[in-house]
């Protein structure tokens, strides 16, 4: 073999090796990411029913829209599970539309010790009904005190959370801390206060609320990735307005996807839509387009 042919041949082989390595990396990314199932959170329906945010009158529309969009499940709000007929009604809808109930969000003033007995009773009811529906995620927001919580209040908050974790575990449900902005502003005073007291608590960050609270989602994932079991995905414009669909705003989801891949993320996720102005398209199309964007960007086929 002459020198020119040797160089050409070895260059061809090297190029193919590099290409093969890239293919393997891409395959590994997709094989890891495919394990993530994507639900939808029902806030956009609940937002029409202030101040209780009870979407029960239109809950069937949510199931229908989620079926059309191809979502893997439906995440409730706790108010939906307080109705006496919640289990039977929601079971029928889940079966009719082939969209399972996968979890619920929950909000309570957990820093306020005078509310603990009430919250414990309520969570016991909500989690039991969620368990009957075969849901497994319980996203907790710990309540906004409208100021920095004291060390004593953070102690009370952590004490209650430990009891709620036990209730969830007894029902095969995973509790995760679901943040709004108040948990992550002021240097993450609230969230870090909880983590200092329960270091291994599971996390379910809302990526958009992180952005609005001044926290970089990528940095958050790099720091707490091993504790993240769930997340909410929503988008916004540069001026802070919610976009009609995920992927049409300015949040850097490609960087977020890369960070999650590096953490070998294997939890669940939920798309959550919220509108600052009336949507242009049918909501079911917004769900479908948002889901497709998330699948393509995160590799969650």
Mapped onto helix, strand or coil, the DSSP state of residue 76 is strand
Q: Give the pTM.
A: 0.88
Distance CA 222, CA 214 (A): 16
Is residue 24 pLDDT above 60, yes or no?
no
Residue 203 pairs in a beta bridge with: 177, 228
| Element of type H or E holding 277 | none
The pLDDT value recorded for residue 5 is 55
For 79-105, how does the pLDDT look when each residue is reduced to its tens digit (9 = 90+)?
999 999 999 999 999 999 999 999 999
Compute the mean pLDDT over every residue in the chain, rounded to the nearest whole number.
92
Distance CA 164, CA 278 (A): 37
For 197-246, how does the pLDDT look when each residue is reduced to its tens digit (9 = 90+)?
999 999 999 999 999 999 999 999 999 999 999 999 999 999 999 999 99
Secondary structure of 108-169 in HEC code, one letter for each residue: CCCCCHHHHHHHHHHHHHHHHHHHHCCCCEEEEECCCCCCCCCHHHHHHHHHHHHHHHHHHH
Look up tokens 């079911």; give the residue.
284
Is residue 117 pLDDT above 50, yes or no?
yes
Mapped onto helix, strand or coil, the DSSP state of residue 203 is strand
The pLDDT value recorded for residue 7 is 46
Token duo for residue 150: 């004291």
Q: How is the chain split into domains, by residue range? A: 1-33, 35-298
Q: Max alpha carbon distance in the chain (Å)?
A: 87
The pLDDT value recorded for residue 200 is 98
Report the relative pairing of strands 232-233 and 269-272 from DSSP bridges: parallel
Token duo for residue 189: 């005073």
Mapped onto helix, strand or coil, the DSSP state of residue 25 is helix
What average pLDDT does the segment 19-36 reach? 52
75, 41 in Cβ contact below 8 A?
yes
For 122-147, how does the pLDDT look when each residue is reduced to its tens digit (9 = 90+)?
999 999 999 999 999 999 999 999 99
The pLDDT value recorded for residue 29 is 46
Q: Looking at the chain, how many residues does it have?
A: 301
What average pLDDT does the segment 49-66 reach? 98
CATH number for 35-298 (one of 3.90.1150.10, 3.40.50.300, 3.50.50.60, 3.20.20.150): it is 3.20.20.150
| Element of type H or E holding 28 | helix 3-33
Residue 40 pairs in a beta bridge with: 74, 271
């Amino acid at each position: 073999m002459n020198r020119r042919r040797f160089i050409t041949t070895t260059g061809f082989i090297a190029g193919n090796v590099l290409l093969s390595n890239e293919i393997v990396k891409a395959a590994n990314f997709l094989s890891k990411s495919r394990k993530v199932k994507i639900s939808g959170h029902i806030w956009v329906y609940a937002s029409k029913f202030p101040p209780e945010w009870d979407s029960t009158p239109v809950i069937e529309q949510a199931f229908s829209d989620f079926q059309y969009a191809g979502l893997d499940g439906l995440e409730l709000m706790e108010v939906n599970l307080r109705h006496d007929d919640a289990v039977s009604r929601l079971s029928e809808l889940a079966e009719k539309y082939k969209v399972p109930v996968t979890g619920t969000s929950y909000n309570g003033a957990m820093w306020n010790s005078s509310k603990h007995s009430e919250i414990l009773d309520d969570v016991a009811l909500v989690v039991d009904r969620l368990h009957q529906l075969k849901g497994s995620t319980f996203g907790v927001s710990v309540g906004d005190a409208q100021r920095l919580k004291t060390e004593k209040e953070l102690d009370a908050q952590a004490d209650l959370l430990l009891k709620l974790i036990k209730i969830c575990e007894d029902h095969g449900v995973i509790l995760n801390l679901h943040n709004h902005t108040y948990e992550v502003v002021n240097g993450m005073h609230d969230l870090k206060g909880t983590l200092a007291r329960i270091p291994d608590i599971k996390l379910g960050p809302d990526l958009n609320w992180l952005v609005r609270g001044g926290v970089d989602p990528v940095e958050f994932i790099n720091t707490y990735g091993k504790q993240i079991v769930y997340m909410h995905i929503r988008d916004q414009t540069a001026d802070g307005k919610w976009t009609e669909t995920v992927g049409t705003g300015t949040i850097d989801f490609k960087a977020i996807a890369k960070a999650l891949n590096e953490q070998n993320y294997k939890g669940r996720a939920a798309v959550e839509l919220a509108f600052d102005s009336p949507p242009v398209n049918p909501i079911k199309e917004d769900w479908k387009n948002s889901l497709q964007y998330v699948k393509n960007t995160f590799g969650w086929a």
